[in-house]
Structure 1
């Protein structure tokens, strides 16, 4: 992964890249070439996020691939592929409501090159263990699947052996507390991961960065070898962030959307 090139283009697309507080409020990148995708493909992404994925795929080195977990209707895949020759591997088991493979397939046929994307209808754990891209390495990895604490922790744990020596890891929906907790615990014991930027949003489904995104850089051998967190620490985090916090957050989201519906009805 040409990480320096990736960062350079990020700064060009978002002049506030080095200022997270300003960056979180930007509604779109400098170039608007991906905006039409939002009109043609239903998805859970913003124009900013599509450009971020596109730049990640653009800066892959020879012998590297882009891997995506969680594709729904294929909007993020179309964004990553636009104008890029990158080979893409993706999976989804369509457990999300209103998700179906036929819709995804239509998106791939209309918005990606023939044979560019290899898609697998699998649980992400099975997909990452299968590693259909081998022996190639993963230069760019995007995770947007189940958002339980255990899901996110394992999504990072299972991809690590396949990452290139220098790779970008992009994690979606980082407004969610269990997601942030899983990322934080994993990185604490995997020092070859470093947080590049953390972009939260004030509300869910924001036009800026949807539901928050974090970008990590992985550099193999740059720090001491990673190790597993103590079992009690992992289990404690899983209990707290998969049960108690998730329940509170779900209630807060329900209240938020009830408020939005009531205000739209009154207007």
Structure 2
């Protein structure tokens, strides 16, 4: 399976690791890219950690050594989007440090009364009052932003609630549709291409989730490689409404 791609956009959860366990073929895939000096960028919907924390985790837990500059999260894409809109800098966030710290360090100000934006991501310490505050702010006119649509996230325990589950709850409570940033939406993919300094035809999107990773390619004119190591099961591939460019059981099958 030889290819012409100059750069790789790569998912993390379910592709390189699964919860707290490394996926050996994923680790080897990254190491082969490094050996070949082939540019790659981890494009992840995970907003719970900063790029520096992601790179640190990859090194300490999985013995995968990369620069934080190779990590582009939905948090960074959210910040880039809000800056481009220039609608104000007041924000209320449901999320963890990888989202809130980055947003505040980018110059946005916390506001629980009349924010310009309400950003909703994954929050494993979710409380009813957070949801209530977000609901009231959106009903009072704040722009509703969802970091990513992942309703579930793959872990060693199985599939657990993701950011999309919280976003759906707020959407139901407010009857407002969110602006969605993360995969498979165009916002994060276009920003990732800018970071890579490459065109769509130069790259391929690699990931385990058909609904986000593969659709990132299918919806945005980018080739995709679906690896059956996480979210999407092999049993459903034949019934997918539109096939990814490539499907493999393991990233070991991919030839550069």
TM-score range, shorter chain: 0.3 to 0.5
Q: More strand per residue: 1 or 2?
A: 2
Q: TM-score, normalised by structure 1?
A: 0.34
Higher relative contact order (CA 8 A, sep 6+): 2
